[in-house]
Structure 1
């Protein structure tokens, strides 16, 4: 035993050996730092640490990114809806706020901030969620978002087979019971849709429109909602295009709001000024959800969209190929009726314009704008609806006089509503004031202009130039293509 102890190295010898090894390690580290670039070092370290972690760890992580290839990830959407319902006192931090400007005292909405952990229990499994956000260094590229779901390796298959389908069903139930609709606008600087609560009071009940036209629109919407199998059987995308056209103030925006409330669809209000090019347009449009309305107002004001494609091509040839065309008509058509139209279901695409004649014929054909709704000037029936709404009366001895004037004066429902609102607390005075307003407009137009228009309409009727497909009235028509 004594001889064995004598053979062991002394403490000073061990200390000297340790010092030599430390010096050698520092020398090797210095040489490696000089020879191997920093990015390569980080890559080697991440791979090495990852291998060690995977070997010794008993956990498995699912990563769900916000986009899946070229479209928005529907699994990510479902998780966004589901996870706020799993917030409990153990959550370490929360994102709270409100986007309802009409009710500042409404209860705060809760959401998941970046790097916050949410614990969920499902069928005896403990599951940990974390939202990760990677900010982009380019303003036109959106931030990268993804959820991490950590579970035990032993329950990985169970999570895939039972937990993810459970999230999808719960999200669908939550969305079907939503009380508030949202209206979205696209933020070009942040490259994402931003929402606000949509609480427009317009409904088909309050809408001032010819009863026949109103019922036709409601019947068409009901038919669209119940024809999922039909669209699949005939090989068409489950969508419907509407064109609302007519003079300003005839109720186009109110009709859009009434449709949204009737269908319980969110609205995506797209302004082409915020879109850079066709590729950007595809990414923006594929970020919209199912059961929604894509609204493109005053499409005739977007010159590159409304004018004929031949003119655009001629202009590009004159200015040179280097000119960026921006958003083109072809890019829009490819989404609403091309191969990209299949990226989504149960959608309404609504265009509005004051000048239908300025639109390219390619936009107007069936499959793109399936329903053409003419929003015209006020008629006696529309006036009575407005009088009931604003004055609370259904009949008056002066209504006959107003009927005769409205038939000969072009006045929009918006103008009628404004006149009735001035003295809404005194119906008699309001009606008298409205008659004076109509007479003033009649004098401005002049009897000769009115007679000329009447003669022109009569001649067109005799010549049979009006389309038999139109069920025209002075207040509007619906044209189903």
Structure 2
């Protein structure tokens, strides 16, 4: 029989079946369809692998998502029916294989068939809002002789490509942890917005040598998967950013995220009720992410939890006294967070910290001397970065960013003032921003910076003189 005749015959049978099936009871339709599938499978044997949208525990299936992304690229030129959507976290339109359609794929000369299936399920009570819902799945069909290849090399290829496509298409996110509301399990632990901070290492106003050290460390971490596996360590790294307010700690975090293309998880410890919830939050963070706890010294009472004995060695406070204090705190404020230093340490580098990979943990503080040494030791906070006041080299970077200049006659005076005074990069940047429509805005901005530093210097000197006078007066009264 010729191909055209075979196609015509199949078309006729399908038309006849579509007409007749409308008058058959549902159970007969299912039996006939099942019998036809078995007949076709005996003539054209196939291996079937089904990928459901949700796992048995109700969580979204990562495999389904990867296949959806992968088939989106294959379907554009091959499928007859496509779904197109623009999600909040995607950079462009996403095309996916529509329900009921199929597409052929080939890998290393092995052909497989992907079928997208959607089924509307009626919700007849038993929870939910009673509305019907869509049950989606992908079905992979392949010849039995390629079963081992398909289940190994081919599906590994699909998973890898699907993850790459998702990573390329998604926008960067800024997450924050939701306040617990009675452990509502289906409520997401994190909420997010799309993140568009323009900071880069080129625009950071800090010492160029220190900046280069940080860049080298970050690049080494990003490429260090095999190394971390070799030495038997979780693929994560900790950074402690410390220094006075306005020295660019938050901007540094944004620059890191832009350099690595990582999401940011801004963890508010005061909203976490206990250590168990802290672990759950860690589990639900993604790979390629930065977990940030800002102002760690102010988040919880994590300082002063240890004391030195007479010999100078550290020992924990008396357990019974600590339990009494804890019970008293709970009685006074039942909503107060019960996260402990021990729980936070386990979060950073305990057993649970290895539940994901390619993560960076950042603490920021204005008072590093107040933190417990156990919290910031090497191995937890691997790199300590001092965000210091603005000196001349950092000022030149800011002048280039804000005024597009490399040199100016006023630079000499500014250098002397910055060496003699503590000025934050934030204050310098604010004075360098042009105001109004002055044609000579460069010189006016530099003069405004000089005036600001000089005024602060004079105010500081007057304050010190007043304090010295009061101290001398107090000493005279005491004597």
Q: 1:73 to 1:209 in 2, by over 3 A?
A: farther
Query: Once the 2 structures are TM-superposed, how far is the Cα of residue 386 of structure 1 from its aligned partner?
Result: 1.1
In structure 1, what is the Cα distance between the partners aligned to 2:271 and 2:72?
Answer: 31
- 5 Å-filtered alignment, 1:6-155, equals 62-64=50-52, 74-75=62-63, 78-79=66-67, 81-82=69-70, 84-85=72-73, 91=81, 95-99=85-89, 107-108=92-93, 119-122=102-105, 123-130=111-118, 148-151=137-140
In structure 1, what is the Cα distance between the partners aligned to 2:155 and 2:74?
Answer: 15
Q: 1:340 to 1:53 in 2, by over 3 A?
A: farther
| TM-superposition CA deviations, 1:223-245 (whole Å, max 9, x none) | 22333333223221111100111
Contact 1:92 1:117 survives alignment (8 Å): no
Structure 1: gaps spanning 5 or more residues: 1-47, 101-105, 139-143, 454-481
Contact 1:200 1:257 survives alignment (8 Å): yes
The answer for the alignment partner of 2:188 in structure 1 is: 191
Structure 2: gaps spanning 5 or more residues: 1-26, 39-46, 106-110, 182-186, 307-315, 469-479
| TM-superposition CA deviations, 1:281-304 (whole Å, max 9, x none) | 222222222222222222223115
- 5 Å-filtered alignment, 1:218-233, equals 218-233=215-230
In structure 2, what is the Cα distance between the partners aligned to 1:183 and 1:335?
Answer: 20
In structure 1, what is the Cα distance between the partners aligned to 2:31 and 2:232?
Answer: 51
The answer for the alignment partner of 2:358 in structure 1 is: 346
1:166 lines up with 2:157 in the alignment: yes
Q: 3-state SS of the aligned residue for 1:368?
A: coil
Query: Once the 2 structures are TM-superposed, how far is the Cα of residue 412 of structure 1 from its aligned partner?
Result: 0.9
The answer for the alignment partner of 2:294 in structure 1 is: 297
Q: 1:93 to 1:170 in 2, by over 3 A?
A: closer
Instruction: Give TM-score scaled by structure 1 length.
Output: 0.68
Contact 2:302 2:341 survives alignment (8 Å): yes
- 5 Å-filtered alignment, 1:347-426, equals 347-423=359-435, 426=441
**RMSD (Å) for aligned C-alpha atoms:** 4.4
1:315 lines up with 2:325 in the alignment: yes
Higher mean C-alpha deviation, range 185-194 or range 287-296: 185-194
Contact 1:71 1:283 survives alignment (8 Å): no
Q: 1:442 to 1:386 in 2, by over 3 A?
A: same
Q: 3-state SS of the aligned residue for 2:433?
A: helix
Query: Once the 2 structures are TM-superposed, how far is the Cα of residue 447 of structure 1 from its aligned partner?
Result: 6.0
The answer for the alignment partner of 2:210 in structure 1 is: 213
| TM-superposition CA deviations, 1:346-368 (whole Å, max 9, x none) | 22111212222332322111221
Query: Once the 2 structures are TM-superposed, how far is the Cα of residue 215 of structure 1 from its aligned partner?
Result: 0.8
